[in-house]
Chains A and B, each alone.
Chain A
Amino acid sequence: MAERKFSWPARSEATLIGKDIQRIDGVAKASGQAKYTADINTEGTLFARLLTSPHAAAKIKSIDVEQAKKMPGVRAIHLFKNEGDEIRWEGELLVAIAADRVELADDALKVVKVEYEELPFYVNEADIVRAAHADRTKGLGKNEKGDVDAALKTAAVVHRGYYGVSTISHMCLEPHGSHCQWDGDDLDVHLSTQNVSGTPGQFAEPLEIDASNVTVTSDYEGGGFGSKFAADEWGIACAKLSREAGKPVRLMLDRAAELKIAGTRPSGYADVTIAADSEGKIVAWDSVHWGTAGFGGGGVDVNQLPYPFDFENRRAAQIGISCNTGPNRAWRAPPHPQLCALTQTAMDDLAAKMKMGSYEFFEKNLAFALQDKGPVYAEQMKIAAKAIDWKAKWHPHGQGGKGPVKRGLGLALHRWGGGAGPCTCTVKVHQDGSVETFLGSQDIGTGTRTIIAITLAETFGLPLTGVKVNLGSSKYPQSGASGGSITVGGVSGANRRAAQTALWEIFDKVAEKYKLESADGLVAKGGDILKGKEKICTWKQACSLLGPMGLETKGESSQKTKDGLTSDQVGGVQMVDLSVDTETGLVRIHKFVCVQDCGLILDELTARSQVLGALIMGIAYSLS
């Protein structure tokens, strides 16, 4: 028998993989049948509302909830803070009240009496001088290579500039929150989370119950962007309120709290000196950058600047600023967007100073691209330049038109790790030919459910309707959190392995039943089992050989699984043609091109959506 290896079918031979496949849950979402955490409303559900701090820094002198307890409809009250506790940012949670209706909870919050001793605060993330004066700065290390000072002295052109991108908020469409319901010591949590498998323990410990008592469910989710990995103090509070009231409780952050406490991306500001020789080759990078990740300081990692280049002489230093603002959370490819903006805007300004074209300048410096990606970027730049018609549209810097509206081109490069996230799944093939998979992953709105269905349907030669995807429960086989762009790699790899393992076992039974020499050459396609063009049997006939128990196989994925199903380390190039109204600041984008390493595309429609989403997000980054 020929060796059996896990592999993907060639895209040209695939029935579903790589095609435009609409989301299998699209209709459910568009019609409202899909229930998000914010929709869960089991019988008797109470609604919790939050009192948050109006002060950025304060000490609590007293909290009095006695009057609130007597308000109509109030069933339970949870205190996040007590007398003597300190407030470190506006929006810190003080009190949660669960009541029969949202309005009653709001009314009760209004009679909570809190006395504060206000304290000095600092919130200016961009002004390093004021931050230092306020004693809010902390050196977070340096990173140096070569001899920067010597290189600067001998450089043909030196440019110094100030660059920065501000803190931005995750602002998930569905706010953070949960619905908690107890049955004895068992806790059912509907949680808006990117981390179904990883959150039961986070509930169990503070509630002093076993993790096995907790079931976390997230059937649908309205976005997380890296901010929904934890149970969070408001999730624990929801469970406590529910236990105290003896009723289910739903607690979702309101929009203001979502903005203030549920996650931010750190800011990054930099004083950059960059130099090149007369040919345009960068000979030195010297930067000090600062920013905030909230009260804890922090910011953009010093070890990754410049990006995605490693110049021969470089020096970077980082200063963190402690601001009285909500804490940061992981944000789409942290902290690559900031690194990209800081490095490549400075590079483009140096090109302008040298009167070089941006394309030629970047091309000349691809030799410094990390991981020897220069040749890849070079090809990507050619593709992008053709798509945006760079040669025809390019004009030297500063010559974008006589009127106030200036038009020009820009480009940037990026990289990301990616790869396969940890995932285990159980695939069941039933005797009647139906197929389902179980995994404790979650679809955060990115099409995970559809990707898995495509993988299974392609493997078994079935239509998408022939497979069922069960995810979003912590009782399913453990799967990693959805973050870092590793979910598709993880879930598709694991399901492909489990499905191929099952298929091979089915092929063996078919070969035996139909007295074939071996199972070699058997394929599952179009609902049949074929050998070459010869139909051996139908899929259902093949599955009937499995007996009443059917067949159950396991699949796994992780960064360590190196069998060729997934790869990592991607790069890409983006180019934009836009106009800036220099009298009003209005930016108008005429064309935006993205050339991106994608690896195997499972669903081209979803892949395109992902790229479009990234482009839109990039526009928001640069204009915020």
Chain B
Amino acid sequence: MASPDFSLSVADCPLIQVDGWDGALGQFESSLSASLGTKLPASVGETVRQKGLLVIRVAPRRLWLALDDGIEAPSLAVDPDLGCSVSLDEGRVRFRMAGADVAWVVSKCITVDWRAPAAAPGRAVLTSLHHVPVLFLRTGDTACELIVPRSFSQSLSDWISGLDC
């Protein structure tokens, strides 16, 4: 494929990470759900969208709250006996990829089965791109995002852009 039909754009990706303690997870999730005004994704890889906020369960006791462009971060007051939160406002970059050949591009980058239910629109998968940990977010039939560490972002975007040469 000499010139795949896909586009890549790069943007900042403000995140908040929240963790619940083992043994207090139910209480933590109830509290967080109430704070955010939405139910939480039940299992790893599921996501829930709520008014410019995407809640992603990235590990059994860990969630990422990804903010859309221009959305204010919710004020979270996590009870330290239930869990904790840390702002990841600056350290991640969002690669938006879209186009008819995006599945082909993904197959050259990460070990994610585009056609599997686990990678269906709305699902997230923690995986690696060129040995770097990234979060794959399926955003549409021919669109997805990769959330990558900022320090690697130029190297990884070069890697993806180089697929058409």
A and B physically associate: no
